[in-house]
Structure 1
Amino acid sequence: MSQALIPPMVAHVALAGFLYVLLTVARAPAVWGIGRRTDGSNPWTAVEKRISANLSNQFEWPLFFHVACLILLQFQPSSAAVALAWIFVIGRLLHSAVQILTGNVRLRGVVFTVNFLAVIGLWIYVFMAAGNSPVV
């Protein structure tokens, strides 16, 4: 169980990597001319901005996720902490899908709240671990 936080951390890194690839593809018409419309415009202009914003989001709140996981790796994290890590990753996937594909700000806010609470939960476990609580 002590290494059980590694897979969700890797999954989040994979999501960020995928977003870099997606952003590269979306920018290809403008940067390399690959996939331009006949009028020379980029067919991915609107979605490119949302991908870029979402990629930036992967380096904001998720920082606290990774730090909490790294700290918890020093202890024996509970299955609840591991579940919170996976909830966070699934939430990030949903957040990316909502932000990139829909632009629905209300739904994105709800999904972010789930991510936010999952990380807060992980930090509660960090706090308990620092106090040598057996609950971690």
Structure 2
Amino acid sequence: MHHPLILPMATHVLLSAFLYVLLTVARAPKIWGIGKRADGSNPWAAFEPRISANLSNQFEWPLFFHIACLLFIVSGSGDPKVVTLSWVFILGRVVHSLVQILSNNVRVRGLVFTINFLAVIALWAMML
């Protein structure tokens, strides 16, 4: 049987992999000439820097999420509160990605990040 924290961790890996694919598609017209508009422009030009920035974000604060999860797994803790906080974090990361890529609304993105931030802080606090 798998530890209940593996699935939220794997979901974040899948989100990151999806963002790599999305970034590749967004860069295809510029790099390979695939999908260019008739005028030669890249239809994804406005989204490419947002996707790239969001992908970079997946390797910043989420690092602390993964470390916390690993510590809970090693300790054998399967506390439902920990699992719930993990899913709150993952759902927040998905919403954060959508906001950053589709709207670039910094105020909403900041609010969503705060939820992610607090979820990870709560995970670490539960470890103490």
Percent identical: 64
* Match status 1:123 vs 2:124: yes
Which residue of structure 1 lines up, in the alignment, with residue 110 of structure 2?
A: 109
Partner Cα separation in structure 2 for residue 42 and residue 32 of structure 1: 11
Pair member with larger Rg: 1
TM-score (norm 2): 0.96
Instruction: Please tell me the residue identity of whatever aligns with 1:85.
Output: S
Quote the offset at 1:2 in angstroms: 7.4
Query: After the TM superposition, which segments of 4 or more aligned residues of structure 1 sit over 4 Å from their partners?
Result: none
Partner Cα separation in structure 1 for residue 4 and residue 86 of structure 2: 10
Which residue of structure 2 lines up, in the alignment, with residue 46 of structure 1?
A: 46
Q: Is the 8 A contact 1:5 1:69 kept in 2?
A: yes
Q: Is the 8 A contact 1:2 1:73 kept in 2?
A: no
Instruction: Please tell me the residue identity of whatever aligns with 1:33.
Output: G
TM-score (norm 1): 0.90
Partner Cα separation in structure 1 for residue 71 and residue 2 of structure 2: 11
Instruction: Please tell me the residue identity of whatever aligns with 2:17.
Output: G
Partner Cα separation in structure 2 for residue 59 and residue 118 of structure 1: 17
Which residue of structure 2 lines up, in the alignment, with residue 133 of structure 1?
A: none
Q: CA RMSD in A?
A: 1.2
Aligned length: 127
Q: Is the 8 A contact 1:50 1:99 kept in 2?
A: yes
Quote the offset at 1:77 in angstroms: 2.9
